[in-house]
Structure 1
Amino acid sequence: MIRLASWIVASLLITAGIAWLIALPGTLTLEVAGYRMQPQLGAAIFMLLLVAALIILVWSIVSRVLATPGSLARRGRERRKEQGVDALSDAFIALQSGDPARARSLAREAQARLPGNAAAQLLEARADLALGDMSAAREHYRALIASEKTAVAALTGLYDQARAQNRSDAALTFARKTLALAPASGWAASAVFDDLTRNGQWAEAVAMVNAEPVANREERAVKRRRQAVIETARAREAENTDPLVALDHALTALKLLPDFVPAALIAARIHINRGETRKAMSLLRRIWRATGHPDAAALYANAQPGASALERLKRVRELIETPPATRAAAMVLARAAIDAYDWPLARNALAPFNGPEATQGVCTLMAEIEEGQNGDQGKAREWLARAVRAPRDPVWTADGITSDEWEPISPVSGRLDAFEWKVPVTAVHRPTLETTPSQLPAVAAEPLPLAQPASQ
C-alpha cells in the first residue's frame, strides 16, 4: 500500500514538472540547414531531454550488442573453470576412495579445463603411482620439479615412488634435495636422519638433532633422549679404540638422561679399566637405585678386577638388601652366592620368586642350587623342565628380536632407540631337557665381561 501511494505521488510530481517545463514562457530559435524553428522554451527543453534519453538508449543497445561475443566467451571460460574445479574435487575424492583409475581420468579432464593447474598434474601423478604406472608418474613429477611452487611436492612423489620400487639410494637423493629446498620438511629430515643413524654417521646425526627447534616440553624431552641415545652410540663405538673420547660421550649422554643405563654401563666399564673403581661404583650405585637394572648390579660386583667370588658376594650384599625386594635383585644376589658356594643364601634369595610364576632365570639358578648344594640331579632336571615352559626374563628387545647388550638401532628396521629392556613377546630360543644349567639363559645372572676376567 505504501509502495503504491509512493508511486502515485512520484507520478504526479513528474507530470507536474513536465507541465511546468512546457508552460515556461519564451521561445527558442533554431536554424539548421536553412530551416528555422521557434518552439516554446519549455517544449524545446523537453525535446532536448527526450533526444538525449533516446541517444543513451540506442548507445546502450549498441554497446550491449558489441560486447556480447566477449561476454559469451567470458561466461564460457567461467563455466569451464567451474567444471575443472569440480573435476579436480571429484578426482581427489576418487583417489582418497581407492579408485585411482577414475581419479586419473578426472585429473586429465581437470587439466584440459584448467591448463597449467599444478594440483591437477599432481593428482594425475598420484593416480599413476597408485595404478603402478611408474614411468608416467615419474614424467609428471619431473615436469613439476621445474616450478618452484611444485618442486617439493614433486620430490615427495618421487621419494614415495622410489620407496615403492625399493630404490633406497634414489629415495634418499630425493629426500636430501627436498631438505635443501625446504629445511622444515619433516619426512625429508626423518629420511636423512634415519640414513645417517643406519650407517653410523653419529656426528652428522647429532648435529641434525641439535638443530631441531622445540616448541614444548614434550618435544624437548624427545630431543634430549635422541641426543642421549646418539651420544651413547658414539661412546659404544669408541669404547675399545679411544676410551677417553668414549667416556666423554657417555657422560654427555648421562647429563641429558641421568638414568640411561647403557651410557652408565659404558662409563662404568671405562672407569674400571682406568682403575677408577670408586667412580665406577658410585655411578653404578646411583643407577641401581634409580632403575634396579640387573646389569648395573652385576657390573658393580665386578668393579674390582681380580676380586674373588667371596669379595664379589660381599660387594653385592652391600648393594642389595636381604631379602631382595625384586626378582632382578634376587637373581643378582643368588648368582653371586652360587659363585661363592653360599648355597643357603642363594636359596633364600630366590625363595620369594620360585613359585608358580618363576621365570626361566630363576628356574635355571634353582637347578644350579639343587645340583651344587645337594647333588640332586633329579630336582635339577625338574627345574630345567620348568624353565622350558617358564616366562622369559627381561632382556634387550627390539622388533621381535633379543640382544644380550643394548644396541642403538634395530638390525631389523634400522630404527633408532628401538631396544627396550622388557620381557620378549615370544621366545626366540627355548632350552631343552638335556641342556645343562650353564647353557641356559640367565639374564643378568652372570657378570658382564670386562677387559680382564674376574677370578673366582
Structure 2
Amino acid sequence: MIRLAYWLIASLLVTAGIAWLIGLPGTLTIEFLDYRMQPRLGIAALLAVLAIVAVILIWGMVKRVIAAPYYLARRSQERRKDQGYLALSDGFIALQAGDANRARQLAREAQSNLPRNAAAQLLEARADLALGDMHSAREHYRALISNRKTALAALSGLYDQARQQGRVDAALTFAHKALDISPQAPWAREAVFEDLTRNGRWDKAYDMIADDVAVTREEKTRKRRRLAVVETARAQLAEGREPSAALEHALAALKLQADFVPAALIAARIYSNRGEARRAMSLLRRVWRATSHPDVAMLFANAVPGASAVDRLKRVRELIDSPPPNKAGALVLARASIDAFDWAGARQALAGYSSASPSQAVCLLMAEIEDGQSGDKGKARDWLNRAAHAPRDPVWTADGIIADEWEPLSPVTGRLDAFEWRVPTSAVATRTGPTATPARLETPTPAKPEAEAPSSAPLALPEG
C-alpha cells in the first residue's frame, strides 16, 4: 500500500511537470537549412527532454553490444571459478573421508580452473602423500615452499612425509625451518621439543617450554606440569654427580607441582645423604599427605641413615595412622613391622585389606607373616597361590612398560611425562624385571644414593 501511494504521488508529480512544461508561454524559433520551426516553449522543452532520454537509451544499447564479449568472458571466468572452488571443497571432503584417489582428481580439476590457487596444489600434495606417491608429493611441496603464504603448510607436509619414510633427520630439519618462519608453529615446536628431550638436552627443553605462550587455565596448568617434569629430569640426571644442583632442580619442580612424587623423592634423598633428616622428613610428610604414595613413606622410614628396623617402624608409625587409612599405608606399615619382627602389628595393619579380594602385594606379605610368625608353610603356600591370581597393585607404567622407578620419557614412544602410578591393565615388558616380593625397608648408603639406596626404589609389587 505504501509503495502504491509513492507510485501515485510520483506519477502526479511527473504529470504536473509535463503539464507545466507544455503550458509555458512563448515560442522557440529553430532554423535549420531551409527549415524553420516555431514550437511553443513548453513543447520544445518536452521534446528536448525526450531527445536526451532517447540518446541515453541508444548509447546504453550500443555500449552493451560493444561490451558483450567482455561480459561473456567474465561470466565464463566466474563459472570456472565457481567450479574450481566446488572441486576444491569436494576434494578436501574426499581426502578427509579417506578417498585419496578422488581427492587427487578433484585437486587437478581445481587447478585447471584455479591456476593460481595454492590450496589446490596443497590438496594434490596431500592426496599424493595419502596414496604413497612420495615423489609427486615432494615436488608439489617444494613448489609451495617458494610462496610465503604456503611455505609453512608445505614444510608441514614434508615433515609428515619424512616421518612416514623414517627420515628422522630430514623431518627435524623441516621442523627447524618452520620455526624460522613461524616460531609458534605447534607441530614444529613439538617436533623440536621431542628431539631435545629424546637426546637429554633438558636445559634447552626447559627454555623452550618457558617460551611457550599459555593463555587459558588449561594451557598454564599443562605448561607448569611440563616444566616440573623437565626440572625433575634435570635433577635425576645430576643427582649422582652434582647433588646440590640436583636439589635446586628438584625444589624448583616442587614449586611448580607441589605434590610431584619423583621430585620429592630426589630432594629427600639428597637431604638425607647430607644429614638433613628433618628437612627430608618434613618434605616427605607433606607429600605423603597429598599423595599417599608408598615410595614416600618408605623413604620417610629411611630418612636417618643407619637406623635399625625398630627405629624405622617407629618412624613409619609417626607418619601412618593405625589402622592405616588406605592400602598404600597398610603395605608400608606391614613391611616395616615384618622387618622389625612385629608379626602381630603386620597382621593388624593388613586386617582391613586381606579378607575381601586382597591384592598381590597383600597376599605376598601375608605369606611372609604366616611363615615368620607361626612357621605354617601350608598357609604361606596358600597365600602365594592366591597372589598368582590376585588383582595387581599400582606401579610406574607407560605404554605397557613397567618400571621400578619413574622416568621422564616413555621408553617406547619417547613421550614426555608418560609414566603414571596406576594399576597396569597390561604389560608387555618391564624395565628391571619382575619383582617377587615387596621391597624391604633398608637404610640407604650415602656414598651412592642413586644406585644403592633402597629408599629410592618404589614399593616393589608383583607384576604377573
TM-score range, shorter chain: 0.7 to 0.9
> Residue 339 of structure 2 contacts residue 441 of structure 2 at CA under 8 Å; is this kept in 1?
no
Task: Specify the code of the residue in structure 2 equivalent to 1:303.
Answer: A
Match in the other structure for 1:216 = 216
> Residue 22 of structure 2 contacts residue 46 of structure 2 at CA under 8 Å; is this kept in 1?
no
Task: State the Cα distance separating 1:168 from its structure 2 match.
Answer: 2.3
Deviations 1:320-377 (A, max 9, x none): 2222222222221222222222222222222222113211111111212222222222
Match in the other structure for 1:78 = 78
Task: Specify the code of the residue in structure 2 equivalent to 1:270.
Answer: I
- Within 5 Å, give how 1:187-336 maps onto structure 2: 187-336=187-336
Task: State the Cα distance separating 1:10 from its structure 2 match.
Answer: 8.0
- Within 5 Å, give how 1:344-359 maps onto structure 2: 344-359=344-359
1:29 aligns with 2:25: no
Secondary structure (helix, strand or coil) at the match of 2:421 reads strand
> Residue 402 of structure 2 contacts residue 429 of structure 2 at CA under 8 Å; is this kept in 1?
no
Match in the other structure for 1:39 = 37
> Residue 259 of structure 1 contacts residue 290 of structure 1 at CA under 8 Å; is this kept in 2?
yes
Match in the other structure for 1:440 = 436
Deviations 1:41-90 (A, max 9, x none): 44877776666566555444433332222222222222221222222222
> Residue 298 of structure 1 contacts residue 448 of structure 1 at CA under 8 Å; is this kept in 2?
no
Matches of 1:325 and 1:237 in 2, distance apart? Answer: 35
Deviations 1:221-245 (A, max 9, x none): 2211111111011000000010000
Matches of 2:360 and 2:46 in 1, distance apart? Answer: 116
Matches of 1:318 and 1:45 in 2, distance apart? Answer: 116
Match in the other structure for 1:435 = none
Task: Specify the code of the residue in structure 2 equivalent to 1:222.
Answer: R
Match in the other structure for 1:98 = 98
Match in the other structure for 2:184 = 184
> Residue 295 of structure 1 contacts residue 448 of structure 1 at CA under 8 Å; is this kept in 2?
no
Task: State the Cα distance separating 1:145 from its structure 2 match.
Answer: 0.6
Deviations 1:155-197 (A, max 9, x none): 1111222222232222222222212211222222222222211
Matches of 1:244 and 1:298 in 2, distance apart? Answer: 23
Task: State the Cα distance separating 1:271 from its structure 2 match.
Answer: 1.0
> Residue 361 of structure 1 contacts residue 445 of structure 1 at CA under 8 Å; is this kept in 2?
no
> Residue 331 of structure 1 contacts residue 445 of structure 1 at CA under 8 Å; is this kept in 2?
no
- Of 206-215 and 321-330, more deviation after overlay is shown by 321-330
> Residue 229 of structure 2 contacts residue 408 of structure 2 at CA under 8 Å; is this kept in 1?
yes
Match in the other structure for 2:457 = none
> Residue 84 of structure 1 contacts residue 111 of structure 1 at CA under 8 Å; is this kept in 2?
yes
Task: Specify the code of the residue in structure 2 equivalent to 1:440.
Answer: A
> Residue 233 of structure 2 contacts residue 408 of structure 2 at CA under 8 Å; is this kept in 1?
yes
> Residue 83 of structure 1 contacts residue 113 of structure 1 at CA under 8 Å; is this kept in 2?
yes
Residue 236 to residue 37, structure 1, CA distance change in 2 (3 Å)? same
Match in the other structure for 2:108 = 108
Match in the other structure for 1:361 = 361
> Residue 334 of structure 2 contacts residue 349 of structure 2 at CA under 8 Å; is this kept in 1?
yes
Matches of 2:331 and 2:365 in 1, distance apart? Answer: 8
Which ranges of structure 1 fall in alignment gaps of 5 or more residues? 431-437
Residue 143 to residue 429, structure 1, CA distance change in 2 (3 Å)? closer
Task: Specify the code of the residue in structure 1 equivalent to 2:424.
Answer: P
Counting matched residue pairs gives 442
> Residue 307 of structure 1 contacts residue 454 of structure 1 at CA under 8 Å; is this kept in 2?
no
Task: Among all aligned residue pairs of Structure 1 and Structure 2, give the percentage whose two residues are the same amino acid.
Answer: 60
> Given the two structures, how large is their TM-score scaled by the length of structure 2?
0.86
Secondary structure (helix, strand or coil) at the match of 2:98 reads coil
Task: Specify the code of the residue in structure 1 equivalent to 2:437.
Answer: P
- Of 230-239 and 269-278, more deviation after overlay is shown by 269-278
> Given the two structures, how large is their TM-score scaled by the length of structure 1?
0.88
- Of 46-55 and 334-343, more deviation after overlay is shown by 46-55
Deviations 1:114-149 (A, max 9, x none): 111011111111111121111111111110010111
Deviations 1:204-236 (A, max 9, x none): 111111112222333222211111111011000
Task: State the Cα distance separating 1:39 from its structure 2 match.
Answer: 1.9
> Residue 284 of structure 2 contacts residue 297 of structure 2 at CA under 8 Å; is this kept in 1?
yes
Matches of 1:319 and 1:25 in 2, distance apart? Answer: 122
1:169 aligns with 2:165: no
Matches of 2:10 and 2:427 in 1, distance apart? Answer: 96
- Of 264-273 and 334-343, more deviation after overlay is shown by 334-343
Matches of 1:448 and 1:116 in 2, distance apart? Answer: 74
- Within 5 Å, give how 1:397-412 maps onto structure 2: 397-412=397-412
- Within 5 Å, give how 1:128-139 maps onto structure 2: 128-139=128-139
Secondary structure (helix, strand or coil) at the match of 1:421 reads strand
Matches of 2:34 and 2:20 in 1, distance apart? Answer: 28
Residue 82 to residue 368, structure 1, CA distance change in 2 (3 Å)? same
Secondary structure (helix, strand or coil) at the match of 2:149 reads coil
Matches of 2:52 and 2:325 in 1, distance apart? Answer: 109
Task: State the Cα distance separating 1:441 from its structure 2 match.
Answer: 3.3
Match in the other structure for 1:433 = none
1:343 aligns with 2:343: yes
Residue 14 to residue 450, structure 1, CA distance change in 2 (3 Å)? same
1:156 aligns with 2:153: no
> Residue 158 of structure 1 contacts residue 174 of structure 1 at CA under 8 Å; is this kept in 2?
yes
> Residue 397 of structure 1 contacts residue 422 of structure 1 at CA under 8 Å; is this kept in 2?
yes
Matches of 2:392 and 2:146 in 1, distance apart? Answer: 57
Secondary structure (helix, strand or coil) at the match of 1:149 reads helix
> Residue 332 of structure 1 contacts residue 445 of structure 1 at CA under 8 Å; is this kept in 2?
no
CA RMSD of aligned residues (A): 2.9
Task: State the Cα distance separating 1:413 from its structure 2 match.
Answer: 1.5
